[in-house]
């Protein structure tokens, strides 16, 4: 956390009041926590809601067989949800955000504060992706979080479709829950990333 705040400037009293009264983000770290809270709320809807929200992450063929969506379509669903829930806080959600070096960030959350944009970058991967254990550092941190508005922070969003699906292109992975996958990915993070990058594994296996 100290590393993430090495260039931190304390918010003014008015900004603090604004955050406490209205929930407005005042730093990238606060923006990150707000997005994480929305992801947690979305996870609760998926696990215990009455509308079978997880069903959105699957398609059904003529025989009624379910097939999972890919990373892009899954990320679009999450971006749509975040856009709806965070709009009232003045937070803008974009997908496929293109940076000046032509990198495309899966999802970004941004807000203008005192004429300066605060930008949270989110990289999304399906559990099957062969670069699952490397993307947090090689893509999210090294290529995306270096954006001057991002303050080297971000969220690594992973979609868990169940233990029958491969993990990092491996069928025999031994993982049985989304939390086990989260801990597995976190164990590979270098010390410099901890406190800057959050791992969030969204469990959409309950259809």
Give the model confidence (pLDDT) of 141-150 as tens digits. 888 888 888 8
Residue 175 has pLDDT above 90, yes or no: yes
Distance of CA 119 to the CA centre of its chain: 13
Distance of CA 107 to the CA centre of its chain: 8
Question: For 21-62, how does the pLDDT look when each residue is reduced to its tens digit (9 = 90+)?
Answer: 455 556 889 999 999 999 999 999 999 988 899 999 999 998
User: What sections of 25-130 are H helices per DSSP?
Assistant: 28-48, 71-86
User: What sections of the chain are H helices per DSSP?
Assistant: 13-22, 28-48, 71-86, 135, 178-186
pTM assigned to the model: 0.85
**Nearest in space to 145 (alpha carbons), one of 163, 122, 112:** 122
How far is 31 from 195, CA to CA, in rounded Å?
14
16: phi then psi, degrees, rounded to nearest 5: -65, -45
Question: Could you tell me the end-to-end alpha-carbon distance of the chain, in angstroms, rounded to an integer?
Answer: 37
Mean pLDDT for the chain?
86
Question: For 116-167, how does the pLDDT look when each residue is reduced to its tens digit (9 = 90+)?
Answer: 888 999 999 999 999 999 999 988 888 888 888 888 899 999 999 999 999 9
């Amino acid at each position: 956390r100290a590393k993430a705040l090495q260039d931190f400037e304390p918010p003014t009293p008015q900004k603090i009041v604004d955050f406490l009264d209205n929930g407005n983000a005042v730093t990238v770290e606060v923006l990150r926590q707000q997005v994480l809270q929305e992801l947690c709320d979305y996870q609760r809807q998926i696990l215990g809601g009455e509308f079978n929200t997880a069903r959105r992450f699957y398609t059904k063929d003529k025989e009624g067989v379910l097939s999972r969506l890919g990373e892009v379509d899954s990320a679009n669903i999450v971006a749509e949800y975040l856009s709806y829930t965070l709009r009232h806080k003045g937070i803008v959600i974009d997908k496929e955000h293109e940076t000046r070096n032509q990198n495309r960030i899966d999802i970004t959350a941004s807000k203008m504060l005192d004429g300066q944009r605060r930008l949270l970058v989110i990289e999304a991967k399906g559990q099957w992706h062969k670069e699952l254990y490397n993307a947090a550092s090689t893509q999210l941190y090294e290529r995306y979080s270096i954006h001057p508005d991002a303050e080297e922070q971000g969220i690594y969003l992973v979609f868990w479709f169940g233990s029958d699906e491969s993990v990092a292109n491996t069928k025999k992975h031994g993982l049985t829950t989304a939390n086990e996958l989260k801990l597995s990915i976190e164990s590979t993070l270098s010390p410099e990333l901890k406190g800057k990058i959050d791992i969030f594994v969204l469990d959409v296996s309950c259809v």
